[in-house]
Amino acid sequence: MRSTSAITIHRPEELSEQLRRAWHRAMEESPDYANPFLAPEFALGVARYRKGAHVAVLHQGGEAVGFFPYERNAYGVGRAIGLGLSDCQALVHRPGVTWDTRELLKVCGLSVFEFDHLVEEQQPFGPYVTGTFASPVLDLKPGEGGYPEWLRATYPGLAKTTLKKERRLGRDAGEVRFVYDERDPRMLRTLMRWKSAQYRRTGRMDRFSRPWIVDLVDHLFQVREEHFTGILSVVYAGDRPVAAHFGPRSRSVFAAWFTAYDPEFGYYSPGLMMHLRLAQAAGRDGVTLMDFGRGEKEYKDWLKTRELRVAEGFAARPHPVATAHRMWRRPVRGLRNTVLAHPRLREPADRLLKTVGTLRTSGPPARPPGAGAR
């Protein structure tokens, strides 16, 4: 193991081209760090709209060997960059590099660092992990032939039902077509509207009611780099959009992120249709892994080939703020995880949230996604 000899702190936009190349190199040298949420481009995007975003750069022998993106508030409370949005978190480093976590937090000016999708490999954070969770993934292989042939070969159990629904959708609403990399920003707005309505119907926090998240997604949609590209995909029936997905991809990993569909077409299972079409197209585009992110969903069980493990917890050094933060946040996370892990609790909780969502959507209209955005 190689211990780091120096740590420097930077704003993401202040990183030199040389440091960004070193970060990309660290991503390339380990499959654990190939996820687009671990790319400097994601940290740069978050930093445009979150003032507390920073990157600690670990040096060994005068060479940059590790990159630790984080957000810090005025009280020294730290969190993984994009916490609540990012489905993969880590200190991205060259093979064999290690660090002292408390020393890292001290240099960063952090009393505590909260994470919820930490890559399992991150051993120096191990003592601070409070739980580990499955993160389903799909291993992709370039398929020969068209979509129906790929679907029958890859998912024989789903193929008959899915293709039947697609044919019926084509008869009822117009020819079904799929656009893998849709560049029309109006379709991104349509996705945001659908997703916002879905959040409200199901009683979840509406992410797209927050202008900074709308702005961030708008920005990432425009990023077209080797290690991070924002991909908007749309299923159309005739000229009408039926389902859409937006997520980032790196060289080899596609992160499933925001998926939504027009509820009018719910009968046809457009969400599943979208993920299947997306998987086939991403494989043809050179992607070898689709990461669905932590969380239990039926479609993830249908599509996954295996599971990764991600961790949540609170890295801390002795400090009153760290103690107070853990006392406040840990019970909330524990309650949520207990509900999600037990179907007998999860199903009633989902019904309650949907009831609350119905009541909310029957009231005054919510602020439309993007209102007040740049």
Does the pLDDT value for residue 355 go beyond 80? no
357: left (phi over 0), alpha (psi -120 to 50) or beta: alpha
Q: Give the C-alpha distances (Å, rounded to integers) separating 274 from 1, 241, 305, 368.
A: 44, 11, 18, 24
Does the pLDDT value for residue 199 go beyond 50? yes
- Selected residue with higher pLDDT from 292 and 356: 292
Q: Which of 91-95, 133-137, 281-285, 364-368 has the lowest mean pLDDT?
A: 364-368
pLDDT of residue 335: 41
Q: Quickly count: other Cβ atoms within 10 Å of residue 43's Cβ.
A: 28
Cα(307)–Cα(138) distance, rounded to whole angstroms?
8
Does the pLDDT value for residue 358 go beyond 50? no
Cα(59)–Cα(3) distance, rounded to whole angstroms?
9
For the segment 222-244, the average pLDDT, to the nearest whole number, is: 98
pLDDT tens per residue across span 137-154:
999 988 778 999 999 999
For the segment 24-30, the average pLDDT, to the nearest whole number, is: 97
Cα(292)–Cα(289) distance, rounded to whole angstroms?
10
CA 167 vs. chain centroid, Å, equals 32
CA 324 vs. chain centroid, Å, equals 28
Pairing state of beta strands 129-139 and 306-316?
antiparallel
- Selected residue with higher pLDDT from 319 and 173: 173
Does the pLDDT value for residue 328 go beyond 90? no
10: left (phi over 0), alpha (psi -120 to 50) or beta: beta
Does the pLDDT value for residue 98 go beyond 90? yes
Q: State both tokens at 53.
A: 């975003």
Does the pLDDT value for residue 101 go beyond 70? yes
Does the pLDDT value for residue 324 go beyond 70? no
Q: Which of 17-21, 139-143, 192-196, 225-229 has the lowest mean pLDDT?
A: 139-143
Strands (E), 99-140: 112-119, 129-139
Phi first, then psi, for residue 336 (nearest 5°) are: -60, -45
pLDDT of residue 142: 81
Q: State both tokens at 89.
A: 């978190």
- Selected residue with higher pLDDT from 259 and 329: 259
Does the pLDDT value for residue 341 go beyond 70? no
pLDDT of residue 374: 32
pLDDT of residue 370: 35
How much of the chain exceeds pLDDT 90, in percent? Answer: 79
Cα(207)–Cα(212) distance, rounded to whole angstroms?
9
pLDDT of residue 334: 47
> Quick check: 43 and 228 in contact, CB under 8 A?
no
- Selected residue with higher pLDDT from 342 and 297: 297
Does the pLDDT value for residue 364 go beyond 50? no
For the segment 29-52, the average pLDDT, to the nearest whole number, is: 97
Cα(32)–Cα(253) distance, rounded to whole angstroms?
10
Does the pLDDT value for residue 356 go beyond 60? no
Q: Which of 92-106, 111-125, 334-348 has the lowest mean pLDDT?
A: 334-348
Q: Quickly count: other Cβ atoms within 10 Å of residue 90's Cβ.
A: 27
Within 147-259, where are the H helices? 147-154, 156-173, 185-201, 211-222
> Quick check: 273 and 223 in contact, CB under 8 A?
no
pLDDT grade, residue 247 (50/70/90)?
very high
Does the pLDDT value for residue 354 go beyond 80? no
**Residue at token pair 């916002």:** 196
pLDDT of residue 165: 97
Domains and CATH numbers, the chain: 6-136+309-317 (3.40.630), 141-287 (3.40.630.30)
pLDDT of residue 372: 31
**Residue at token pair 């689709």:** 290
Phi first, then psi, for residue 281 (nearest 5°) are: -70, -40
